[in-house]
């Protein structure tokens, strides 16, 4: 079985430690655990990992958040991965910091990366793991907030929350989305 696991974020050093790049951080942690180095490839950085007999293509699109769909579609087609075997990991302002929620389909929730993926794939029927980043910003400051770095308090538990997010990836690729949601949503 082959899976495409996409961590959303923006390329470049200045975005590395921002809330918007949590998708990158999660796939990087999973790749590290599997000893799977990232390589620069077409439309992103890609790592090939193996987990319990499954082949996972880990993708960090380099198209910037708002054009993520192009990279997702390219790697789905190139690796011949069906829609039901893709998982998109993204930040979510609607969830409190560190809360993780997997869903099998849904709206973009105002997230430009998800909006572009849905436009390119022409469907909302794909799995996503939303990583809560909270909404501790004043009106009109949303962009600055998601492109801002983690607070000192958030940094204290960020690594543990990322580890739990990697458990969602393991579950998605082995026991399926239903059991993974049952076992891990809200943890």
Q: Among 3, 5, 8, 20, which one carries the catalytic annotation? A: 20
β strands within the chain, DSSP E: 2-7, 39-41, 44-51, 54-61, 86-92, 100-103, 127-132
Count CA atoms within 13 Å of residue 112 on its CB side. 11
What's residue 21's pLDDT? 97
pTM: 0.96
CATH architecture of the domain 2-184 equals: 3-Layer(aba) Sandwich (3.40)
Convert the pLDDT of each residue in 136-149 to its tens digit: 888 888 889 999 99
Convert the pLDDT of each residue in 61-94 to its tens digit: 999 999 999 999 999 999 999 999 999 999 999 9
Distance CA 60, CA 21 (A): 10
What's residue 136's pLDDT? 85
Contact 19, 146 (CB under 8 A): yes
Domain segments of the chain as ranges: 2-184
Q: Is 111 a catalytic residue?
A: no
């Amino acid at each position: 079985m082959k899976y495409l696991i996409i961590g959303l974020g923006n390329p470049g050093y200045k975005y590395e430690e921002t809330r918007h790049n949590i998708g990158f951080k999660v796939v990087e942690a999973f790749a590290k655990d599997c000893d799977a180095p990232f390589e620069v490839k077409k439309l992103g950085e890609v790592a090939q990992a193996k987990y319990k007999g499954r082949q996972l293509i880990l993708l960090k699109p380099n198209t910037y958040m708002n054009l993520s769909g192009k990279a997702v579609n390219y790697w789905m087609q190139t690796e011949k991965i069906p829609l039901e075997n893709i998982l998109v990991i993204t930040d979510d302002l609607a969830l409190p910091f560190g809360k993780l929620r997997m869903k099998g389909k849904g709206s973009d929730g105002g997230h430009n990366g998800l909006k572009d993926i849905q436009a390119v794939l022409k469907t909302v029927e794909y799995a996503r793991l939303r990583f809560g980043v909270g909404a501790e910003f004043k009106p009109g400051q949303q962009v600055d907030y998601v492109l801002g770095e983690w607070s000192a308090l958030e940094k204290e538990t960020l690594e543990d929350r990322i580890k739990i997010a990697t458990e969602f990836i393991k579950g998605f690729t082995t026991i399926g989305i239903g059991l993974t949601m049952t076992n891990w949503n809200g943890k």
